[in-house]
Structure 1
Amino acid sequence: MVTFFAPWNTMKFPGWEHGIPNKPIGLDNLNLFYPYKQLSIDLMKIGIVPFWNPYNFTGSPLMADFQSAIFYPLNIFYLLLPMIDAWSVMVFIQSILAGIFTFLFLSSLPIQKTAAIFGAITFAFSGEMIVWMGDHLVASHTILWLPLILYAIERRRLILCVLALTFAIFAGFAQPLVYVFVVSFVYALYRRAPWQIYSAFLLSIGIGAIQLLPTFELFVLSPRRTGDVGYLFDQFLMPLSHLISYLAPDYLGNPATYNYLGGGYHESMLSIGVVPFLLIFLVRRNSTVKFFWIVAGLSLLLGLNLPFVRWFYDLGIPLVSTFVPSRIFFINSFALSVLAAFGLHELLAKKSFKRLALLSILCLVVLGIWYLIKAKEPVMQRNLILPGVILACTVILTATKRWIGVGLFVLMIAGQLYFGNKYLAFSDRQFVYPSHPVFTFLQEHAGFNRFWTYGDGYINANFATQYRVYSPDGTDALFPARLGELFYATETKGQYAPSPRIDARIGRAREGESMLTNPYRLRLLSIVGAKYITDWSEGAFLPPPLFTPVWQQEQWHIYEYRDALPRAFLTSDFVVEKDSQKILDKIFENSGKKIVLEQDVKVDTISTGSAVINKYLPNTVSIDVDTQDNTLLYLSDTYYPGWRAYVDGAETKIYRANYAFRAVVVPKEAKRVEFYYKPNSFRWGIIISLASIIIGFFWWHRYER
């Protein structure tokens, strides 16, 4: 973190004068999941429901953001332990739970316990589980419930099935959740489970409504529903040559060692280990094996760049056509881990040593040919050696026969430990969101004003959440699309365009670019109240009098943007437009406190008065007003369903202003305007969740009898 991100990457830490050892992984954990978890847990500890995050996107839903995983039962660790300790527990417990649940499922099938243990370890420490542990912790916590669900289906355990499905919902990653539900449901059909098991799927969705309804509301209002996702298929449908990574996961290098030649390493992981991969070809056909061969085959095909696969994703199937295709490799890894367990069972039962030896030799030949023909770069050649050594050791083990079971365990564990140690990063506690003078200044002086960053001094916007300062920008899978459209207009010279898929960002200024060259950016910074601009340069490109230096330490500067408007102000100067492009035109034509509404209101032509924020909490904003005229109060916070406004205790309508923000009519002599976030989606979610729990209790009682 302190190596890659501003402002820490310019700091010198005592005892690390020559730099801090690092691996460029886990960026989404640092950028998204850790700050969101910290904020939500901190709010829960002081009795505030974590509905809203006011620190990014000019305010955005927090609980409705599926990845915040606020209702995940394992969050108990965050409530009991310090944040960094709880995070570490969640990282390590992922592999433990995945292993235990996979062992339970495999033990319910007709294979030896030794083989069940082998399959459990294979999945728990598969390439997918390791790399997603380091990059998207919520994703691996979602998928780990799959084997427990299958175990519950196999054993006809209704309550366990409901709980495991519900935990998967609350774990917080939508795409693997869909895969978990589909595979589990099809498995129930394949095993001809009783109807009560199918009811578990409906019950879990009902119980999860407290999360699913707010998330659906946000999804409908986000760029995910309408954005162009063609680039996802171009980037994350893997070529056939990628199949070599079953044997050599680091054939193209590894980002942790700064020699990766591909793209999206954690998005394209296939490896389950060399030894487990060999064992899948030893399995004997039975109904369970046939099912997992089909699952493995389909989950591989849907991640490959083949014409009919691209056609399938282009059909526009809801949700599926917005997915990153290669993430289905989660399911491939699990299915192959199950098959590897069956393969070891077959090897130990039938003594199929010659077949294993022949398979190992065949794979050695494939690696050799690949080395000679395809491996042009030194990193490619180097990373084919270790798989070759494991294959050679496997051939030798088949000759010993007596110790082959132990030997295969050792080879499998050693290979995956090497892979995990190579990829995963461990850090000293002092480097987890350390303090920095830039953030200290903003915390002490910015108040409710927002900050923005210029050029090489770009500070990742989502760090604002961690440090409880305010940024208009943000990066996330779900956020209000209108905010993204408005901000993106600063890069399209005021022309309407769909919002980018994962971020809302006022157009960045390149180092050396004068801040005066983009009037669209200046206007947006003004209306969102971005009063402070951070910069890591000499500051010649933020000229006075528009930008006034207020702080400096070494090359870090902070400037005050003199045209920044207050976060809340009174105005009667407005125009009405309904068309998106015309609204944008008016916003960028206007100056000062003139705003654009989408509905007409009756206020005095000229008004005076003041508005001062007296309380600003995630779900509550209170503003003292003083006016002798009927006027408008403008608040540069995101307009979003669920917010309610009250003027001196009487509810009033919130109007959408300046494309994405809020305004209310304030009658003369009013004293206070209050905003409360009370989402109906959450209220209905609670009702449905409670009703589902009650129904589930009676169904279970009847089922048990």
Structure 2
Amino acid sequence: MNEIITKLRSFAKEHFYVIVLLLLALFFFHSIISTTKIMNNIHYINDVTFYSFNMKEAIKDGTLPLWTHYFYSGRPLFAQPEYYFIDFNFLLILLTGNIYLAMNFSVIIHLFLAGLGMYLLVNYLSDSKKAAFISALIYMFNGFMHSFVVPGNIMIIEGYSLIPFTFFFTIKALKNKNFIFNSIIAGLFIALQIFVGGVIFLPYIFLLIVVYSIVYLADKNFTNRILKLAIVGILILVIGLGVSAVKLLPGLEFLNLSNRSAGLSYEQYLGEPILLKNFVFTFITNVFLSGSGLTAAIGIAGLVLLVFGLEKYKSRIILFSALIVLLALFMSHETFLTKIFFSIPIFNQARHIERSVFLFAFAASILVGFGFLNLQLYVEKFKKFNKKFLFPIIISLILIELVLLQNVPQSIDVINPNEIPILDYMSKDPSNFRSINLALSTFIGATGYNYNSQLGISEIKGGSGIWFSDYVNFLAIGQNAPAKFWGVLNNKYAVLDKKTDIEDLKLVDRFEDCRDCTIWEAFGPYLYENTNYLPRYHTVPNSILVVGDNALVRQLVYNLMFQNWNPQNTVLIEGTKINDYSSEFLNRFNIILLVTGSLDENSIPKLQEFVAQGGILVPDILNGQNTVSDEAMTQLFNQTTGNFTEINITKLSSNKITLDLSGQKGWLVASERFTNFPGWKASINGNNVEIFRADNIISSVYLNGQKGKLEFEYKPNSYKRGRLISIITIILILAYAGFIIYRKKFRSGGQNKA
């Protein structure tokens, strides 16, 4: 027992400052050390909870949340760059199944890791635990944490916490003989940066490494250094991108399909640059001087240490840190440097360049550590001052300004979705439907869907700064006939904060609201039923194929949707050219609408056969008609009669939907965005069937009387390729590790024999 106590004391003494960093992280986030509390932060309550719930459900299904059914009428989720894959959140959900415990303790762990990473880095560079501890405090509690991370963007604390580790092992790779091992570890931290959703930091990590490389190469032994730098750089890049490919490749595909594919405008890239009048507030103190916008303030004590840290400017690490400080100052303001970086590909994809102030926080954290050592030497000249008091005085000043005088994160009670009366009412409806919350008028950036998802309720709107133009256009165009367009998206209920006179919405009731709640819009309180509601999956008796130029086809479909087209009995299928299809396929439709680009010289026989089978051709070019009037289209739609037949979902999981077929024939309408994203496959009893784009946004497949199971499954090739690359890279790393272990044992065994 005494031996154990002795070892514990020895451990505590050896790692005293690390233990203090952990205690400070626990103190800072003490209000969320609970499974019934959550940080009072809208992104945390909504976005992190939403993704964590989807992850929990996917883990139950034995998969990953490649897709979510619960916002934007369904779309890819895992591929979204800012959402995590492997992190402490994931591991804690896997171990405990409690998303709030996982979220809360993940935040605490990553704040501690931020300090630990900086501590290890500066301790390695300075060989001083005290200097390292001071640097860690600055990195953990500078203004960037208080102004950006905690108030609204808590998810990026994970990526922020890993940056010192990446830089630490990169430096070790360049300075030590064992550069392969350290390069691999640095590469793994790059991969982790992508896994935890820290893609926002990748351009800045690249900048840190480039600047350090320039400083590193400033040496007489230039040739050897550039060779080593090239090897280390390639290793880090290959390992980082290779291991992360399972997340990276789907993310790139996701971005290429989204609004980000066109790039960002200069205004979006610029964001809200730091103003000169806010200089002191931004970089020195956000306590004793007021200001606005982002801050990376290091405190007055931090500024003093930073100045002392610049004394030995000829040191490579000091020169590097000083250059990063200057870059941060120029980049975060709108200067010539800001415009230069906009021309660099990896930077012009990043919004809000003022976030580069975090570079100041990173470099300043290093400088203050060295500043403490220089100040210590300076104080030794004053014999009357006992230098042992210097360290506790500085620590006290830093903690007072950067922790005690700051707003410590507040928590609120976790709200059970059933405690929201309007959601509790909807949850008792057994049908599969989507809701739309109109309390916030915008289609993008909505909140509250975190509660809906936990009750199995899908939402038409959603959050995130990444969206898909075709879907947003559908919602925007649909504002002229909202209930009809929402019905196409399987909408049954609309939640509003005030009464409305939208046509075809019927008031259900007014429920109890909660204006003081962080996500007040989830409470309504007004609930309306959409009388144009359509089931998630249903067959219709009438079908129209619209063929021709893609843009013209979609424009015509929208025009038809605003006429007397009835989605209750008719589906509009999007096509290309007549000769792209067989006569058998064309005969599946009641009506074919022709637009420019739909015909060639070989189309006529197929159209003649279609008409002979009873199909209607519009315009009837076989009889010399080239145009058709709105009145004629109205009469045509009046001939479409009948009603839909619902097909119930047998099984709904994260990436797969199963329906039971009992011999239905005709077009199945799936109120799903399957055709918007590559990777969705449909099969009936294991035989693939084609999915077609319907009603400009949803999906449809043709049923030919089969009985059995119809399955829709999401398996994007980007994920499959990425997974394969990641597995191969990890196998190569393990093979290298095995080789090193074997070689050490072999040498050890040889020496013993000798």
Q: Give TM-score scaled by structure 1 length.
A: 0.77
**Which residue in 1 is equivalent to 2:449?**
462
Aligned pair 1:569/2:538, yes or no? Answer: yes
The DSSP-based 3-state class of the residue aligned with 1:37 is helix
**Which residue in 2 is equivalent to 1:236?**
272
After TM superposition, the structure 1 = structure 2 runs for residues 211-610 of structure 1, keeping only pairs within 5 Å, are 211-226=247-262, 229-233=265-269, 235-245=271-281, 246-249=283-286, 262=292, 265=293, 268-283=294-309, 284-285=312-313, 286-306=315-335, 308-312=336-340, 314-315=342-343, 317-318=345-346, 320-351=348-379, 403-420=389-406, 422=407, 424-427=409-412, 429-431=413-415, 435-445=419-429, 447-455=431-439, 460=447, 462-463=449-450, 464-490=452-478, 518-537=479-498, 539=499, 541-542=501-502, 546-554=504-512, 556-571=525-540, 572-576=542-546, 578-580=549-551, 583-590=554-561, 591-593=565-567, 594-599=571-576, 602=586, 603-605=588-590, 610=645
Q: Which has the larger radius of gyration?
A: 2
The DSSP-based 3-state class of the residue aligned with 2:46 is helix
The DSSP-based 3-state class of the residue aligned with 1:155 is helix
Q: 1:637 aligns with which of 652, 673, 676?
A: 673
Q: For residues 634 and 153 of structure 1, what CA distance do their matches in structure 2 show?
A: 50
Are the aligned partners of 1:128 and 1:271 in contact in 2 as well (CA < 8 Å)?
yes
Deviations 1:434-464 (A, max 9, x none): 7211111222216311111345799735333
Deviations 1:518-546 (A, max 9, x none): 43423321211211122344x46256xx2
Are the aligned partners of 2:61 and 2:654 in contact in 1 as well (CA < 8 Å)?
no
Residue identity opposite 2:169 in structure 1: A
After TM superposition, the structure 1 = structure 2 runs for residues 618-697 of structure 1, keeping only pairs within 5 Å, are 618-625=654-661, 629-639=665-675, 640-669=677-706, 672-697=709-734
Q: For residues 352 and 241 of structure 1, what CA distance do their matches in structure 2 show?
A: 38
**Which residue in 2 is equivalent to 1:107?**
123
Deviates more, 1:140-149 or 1:345-354: 345-354
Shift of 1:622: 2.3
Residue identity opposite 2:187 in structure 1: V
Deviations 1:614-656 (A, max 9, x none): 2332211223456664435343334311100113431011122
Q: For residues 353 and 470 of structure 1, what CA distance do their matches in structure 2 show?
A: 70
Q: For residues 266 and 703 of structure 2, what CA distance do their matches in structure 1 show?
A: 46
Deviates more, 1:33-42 or 1:619-628: 619-628
Q: 1:436 to 1:281 in 2, by over 3 A?
A: same
Q: For residues 329 and 461 of structure 1, what CA distance do their matches in structure 2 show?
A: 31
Q: For residues 125 and 344 of structure 2, what CA distance do their matches in structure 1 show?
A: 38
Q: 1:276 to 1:702 in 2, by over 3 A?
A: farther
Q: Give unpaired runs (5+ residues) of structure 2.
A: 1-36, 174-181, 217-224, 514-524, 579-584, 591-639, 744-754
**Which residue in 2 is equivalent to 1:95?**
111
Q: For residues 37 and 300 of structure 1, what CA distance do their matches in structure 2 show?
A: 36
Q: 1:432 to 1:158 in 2, by over 3 A?
A: farther
Q: 2:203 aligns with which of 148, 163, 178?
A: 178
The DSSP-based 3-state class of the residue aligned with 2:458 is coil
Shift of 1:675: 0.7
Are the aligned partners of 1:159 and 1:700 in contact in 2 as well (CA < 8 Å)?
no
**Which residue in 2 is equivalent to 1:368?**
none
Q: 1:164 aligns with which of 189, 213, 229?
A: 189
Deviates more, 1:687-696 or 1:191-200: 191-200
Q: For residues 502 and 643 of structure 2, what CA distance do their matches in structure 1 show?
A: 32
Q: 1:204 to 1:618 in 2, by over 3 A?
A: same
Shift of 1:221: 0.3
Residue identity opposite 1:677 in structure 2: Y
Identity within the alignment, %: 19
Q: 1:205 to 1:650 in 2, by over 3 A?
A: same
Aligned pair 1:148/2:165, yes or no? Answer: yes
Greater RCO between the two (CA within 8 Å, min separation 6)?
Answer: 1
Are the aligned partners of 2:138 and 2:302 in contact in 1 as well (CA < 8 Å)?
yes
Deviates more, 1:633-642 or 1:276-285: 633-642
The DSSP-based 3-state class of the residue aligned with 1:478 is coil
Residue identity opposite 2:172 in structure 1: R
The DSSP-based 3-state class of the residue aligned with 1:320 is coil
Shift of 1:659: 2.8
Are the aligned partners of 1:443 and 1:469 in contact in 2 as well (CA < 8 Å)?
yes
Q: For residues 168 and 455 of structure 1, what CA distance do their matches in structure 2 show?
A: 36
Deviates more, 1:406-415 or 1:194-203: 194-203
**Which residue in 1 is equivalent to 2:16?**
none
Q: 1:281 to 1:460 in 2, by over 3 A?
A: same
The DSSP-based 3-state class of the residue aligned with 1:474 is coil
Shift of 1:153: 2.5
Are the aligned partners of 2:572 and 2:695 in contact in 1 as well (CA < 8 Å)?
yes
Q: Give unpaired runs (5+ residues) of structure 1.
A: 1-21, 254-260, 355-397, 491-517
Q: For residues 83 and 144 of structure 2, what CA distance do their matches in structure 1 show?
A: 21
Deviates more, 1:69-78 or 1:527-536: 69-78
Deviations 1:455-513 (A, max 9, x none): 579973533334431111111133433222322334xxxxxxxxxxxxxxxxxxxxxxx
Q: For residues 127 and 347 of structure 1, what CA distance do their matches in structure 2 show?
A: 23
Q: 1:476 to 1:434 in 2, by over 3 A?
A: same
CA RMSD of aligned residues (A): 3.2
Q: 1:238 to 1:584 in 2, by over 3 A?
A: farther
**Which residue in 2 is equivalent to 1:373?**
none
The DSSP-based 3-state class of the residue aligned with 1:128 is helix
Q: Give TM-score scaled by structure 2 length.
A: 0.73
Are the aligned partners of 1:218 and 1:478 in contact in 2 as well (CA < 8 Å)?
no
Are the aligned partners of 1:625 and 1:670 in contact in 2 as well (CA < 8 Å)?
yes
Are the aligned partners of 1:654 and 1:662 in contact in 2 as well (CA < 8 Å)?
yes
